[in-house]
Amino acid sequence: MGFRLTTKHINMALAVIVIFFLVFFPNFKLAAGTAQQARFAPSDAWVSSLTWLKGNTPEPFDDPNFYYQFYEPLPEKEDYKYPESPYEDYIYPESAYGVTAWWDYGYWITRIGHRLPTTSPGPFQARADTARFFLSQDEDSAQEIRKELDSLYIIIDYETATSKFWALTLWAERERAEFFDIYHVPQENQLRPVQLFHPGYYHSLSIRLYNFDGKAVIPEKTLVISYQKKMSQEGVPYKEITGVEEFASYEEAKAYISTQESANYQIVSDNPFASPVPLAALEDYKLIHSSDDAVQPPGTGITVPQVKIFEYVGKE
């Protein structure tokens, strides 16, 4: 007896289709969208910049095929005891050098650039040194750390200079308020939080490199805010801005602050790419590569390359 298609069968099939679209299809679309995203993968700017690094910098081991070679530790002898890692006894050739970037990018530097990162997402070594290097307030202190890292090239991206900058202060064990802070502005019977950058942020080596390409900076204006320290109803301390003064020069702003009895005055800028303090040109670092892929920092009206590479050109 043959199968007969009835109205009941059609209704059941339609019900299955409706249930699929109501229950499963939204999740299917979400899963498909997630699958198309390369999470934690390097951006086009990083891939192109590290490809450039690989093709335009010296081979650290004088042989490009060294990257593919497997290192075998020395065989254990009676009078020799392995260190904690069997690779700690490796002696690097004189041609070897490091590439310094924030630790998030260490594996990318190895895999794409075939170069030696000074730190990586693996062991914690050199993370604090890298953070202190990026936060160095002058070239002399930066040079001491750079020599420890044996770094010849510096890579900084937009995130390191902005959204990840707080991580540098954390690893370097520095107070956030040395570099930036959150203030609150009274507005329509409410308090609006704003992030303002302090002079220490602009003096940081990473910012002088990425934000200003190591060039000298003369501010067009300098802002000074006054603020009060208050406590919210929930017991959370905060800083409320009580006044803003604009000066034609940094020197005038400093002179103004020196005449105030209160210590609650601060030179600030709301733009990470507009320094309120003068900056001298860096002598030991040279910009050698900028990615074609760029970003537009909110509220700045400018476009900047996402990734920049600098070479140390000073004396050892």
Q: What is the pLDDT of residues 115-144, one digit of tens each?
A: 999 998 876 667 999 999 999 999 999 999
Domain ranges of the chain: 41-312
Mean pLDDT value across residues 275-299: 97
Strands 190-197 and 180-187: antiparallel
Does residue 296 surpass a pLDDT of 70?
yes
Nearest to 145 by CA among 129, 134, 160: 129
pLDDT value of residue 30: 47
**19-23, 31-35, 41-45, 296-300, range with the lowest pLDDT:** 31-35
What is the reported pLDDT for 315? 86
Return the pLDDT at 88.
60
Whether residue 162 is predicted with pLDDT greater than 70 in this model: the reply is yes
Place of tokens 């900076």: 217
- pLDDT higher than 70, residue 109: yes
pLDDT-wise least confident of 81-95, 160-174, 212-226: 81-95
Per-residue pLDDT tens over the stretch 177-212: 999 999 999 988 889 999 999 999 999 999 999 999
Is the model more confident about 289 or about 77?
Answer: 289
pLDDT at 68 over 70: yes
CA 13/CA 9 separation, integer angstroms? 6
pLDDT, mean of residues 103-111: 95
- In the predicted structure, residue 38 carries a pLDDT above the cut 70: no
pLDDT at site 70: 76
Look at residue 121 in the predicted model and tell me its pLDDT.
87
Q: Is the pTM of this model over 0.85?
A: no
Q: How confident is the model at residue 91 (pLDDT cuts 50, 70, 90)?
A: confident
Task: Looking at 204-282, list the stretches that DSSP marks H as alpha helix, in order from N- to C-terminal side.
Answer: 205-210, 250-258
- Contacts of the segment 275-278: beta carbons below 8 A, 24+ positions apart: 275/202, 275/211, 275/212, 275/217, 275/219, 276/199, 276/202, 276/219, 276/221, 276/222, 276/223, 276/250, 277/199, 277/202, 277/203, 277/219, 277/222, 277/250, 278/216, 278/217, 278/218, 278/219, 278/250
Query: What is the mean predicted confidence (pLDDT) over 293-307?
Result: 95
CATH no., domain 41-312: 3.40.50.12610
For residue 2, is pLDDT > 60? no
Residue 200: how many other CB atoms lie within 10 Å: 18
Instruction: Please check whether residue 260 is in contact with residue 184, taking contact to mean a CB–CB distance below 8 angstroms.
Output: no
CB 314 within 8 A of CB 291: no
Please list the residues that pair with 245 across neighbouring strands: 224
